[in-house]
Structure 1
Amino acid sequence: MERILGIACKQYPNGKNQAPFYELLIRRPIETVDSDGYKKRGIGFDTEIPYRKEPVKIAPSYAETLIESGAFVPDRDYEFVTSSNPDDIYEMWVSELIPVEDDLKKHFQASLNTPKQTK
């Protein structure tokens, strides 16, 4: 179970791979680092990716579904199911967020089962 603060869609339009990608912003304890080139210490939480670690990615179509439907509620506890990117089996990402709290489970279910309204 992790406290997920947000879902970020990032893109490098002028880079080699111009496709957008999605990352989960996860609350992590502040990590103490004491090396020659960098020092850090503190108390509390941040969303900084620990040194030599990768961000947690989320399947793009699933991320868009969560955003567009309003199902995702930031700063709540979720469990997640992981799978690999079908285009790159070495890239792992979250394929499903599972809300932990009962009220959020109901909101998630209602949001994901509501058909989109056309304008």
Structure 2
Amino acid sequence: MMWLFIALGGAAGALARYSLMTLVHASRIGTNGAWQLLPIGTLIVNVLGSLLIGMLYVLIIEKMILPAEFRSLLVVGLLGAFTTFSTFSLDTVLLLEQGFWLQAITYTLLSVVLCVLAAWLGMAILRLVA
């Protein structure tokens, strides 16, 4: 049964990531300049996923408000497919290969700092309210 939960969560996470990234890409059409190359869609997905994993950690592990079975569905399946370290890595390498060093460094720093802060914020919020 756990495999089914992971698969269902993974399908939902992949569809959510695709939808959000498509929406972000469509909103950026027509913008100009080298900063347009910054992979904002992937950044948003990873920061949001980090916020959610912090919240789910508190709900499932610390407070035990949600059953442990939800970890497989939501953390492993949904967020595992929603967030994407491999896309982040590829986006960074492509920026570097194209000579956009400043954008690559900015994107890397933003990704690491914002994702860690988002995970902490998600935990902090749920620790206060749950």
TM class, shorter-chain normalised? Answer: under 0.3
Structure with the higher fraction of residues in helix conformation: 2
Which protein has greater RCO, CA pairs closer than 8 Å, 6+ apart? 2
**TM-score normalised by the chain length of structure 2:** 0.23
**TM-score normalised by the chain length of structure 1:** 0.25
